[in-house]
Amino acid sequence: MAQNYDDSDMKIVGAPAAPARESEFQGFLAESSRQHFNGNIAKAKTLGANIVSSFSYKAAPAELVDFVMENGVVPTEDVLLQARFLSVFSAELSLTSYLPPLLSQIAKSEMYDVLMKFSPDFYDALARSGAFSFYYMALHKGVVTAESVGRQFAMLCGHEGEERFITLGKKLHELNVQVYRKAINGFVFA
């Protein structure tokens, strides 16, 4: 014998309703349109392309070699490569920190597109290195500090815990962020 149950007070738990997704998408479209028409998307692309020029992806510039030596570290090929990887990480972190999300993503995409186009070997080495994973692991443990970046840099150079490598990584990151923040501030976003 079947019993009748009143289930009118029961709620079905599931995915959010489609109108919420539509609203998010419409918000994204509106923001994209606004940023396009006020010129910010073009500026973000230019910023991303300009930042690539500071990576020294062809070879380590004399200034970087001198900076490494001034900090008591022998400028081996691996140390210089890790310093250039750190520069890219610092740029990505700066763009994320100092730009709204949409403009940050556009600037980073352009940065990587230009890097792939003009230096595919450096881009591939960066992608294979796993360096960003270590820097981002430090980020997930809390706020990224120059000290935590320096510690990761030392480890990636094969000199974990060595103070001169930690200090070098810390100084490189601080200098990079200062340069990239100035570059970002040089663009007047509407």
Q: Express each pLDDT in 114-173 by its tens digit.
A: 999 988 999 999 999 999 999 988 777 766 688 999 999 999 999 999 999 999 999 999
Whether 152 is in a domain gets the answer yes
Task: Select, from the ranges 15-19, 20-24, 68-72, 162-166, the one with the highest average predicted confidence (pLDDT).
Answer: 162-166
Long-range CB contacts (within 8 A, 24+) of 11-19: none
Whether 129 is in a domain gets the answer yes
Furthest C-alpha separation in the chain: 89
pTM of this prediction exceeds 0.85: no
Number of folded domains that form the chain: 1
Q: Give Cα separations from 61 to 50, 54, 67, 160, 187 (angstroms).
A: 17, 10, 10, 25, 26
**Nearest C-alpha neighbor of 93 from the set 135, 42, 129, 40:** 135
Mean pLDDT value across the chain: 85
Whether 53 is in a domain gets the answer yes
pLDDT at 54: 75
User: Are 83 and 103 in contact, with CB atoms under 8 Å apart?
Assistant: no
Q: Answer yes or no: is pLDDT of 1 > 60.
A: no
Whether 23 is in a domain gets the answer no
Whether 146 is in a domain gets the answer yes
Whether 155 is in a domain gets the answer yes
Whether 5 is in a domain gets the answer no
What range defines the domain where residue 168 resides?
42-185
Whether 24 is in a domain gets the answer no
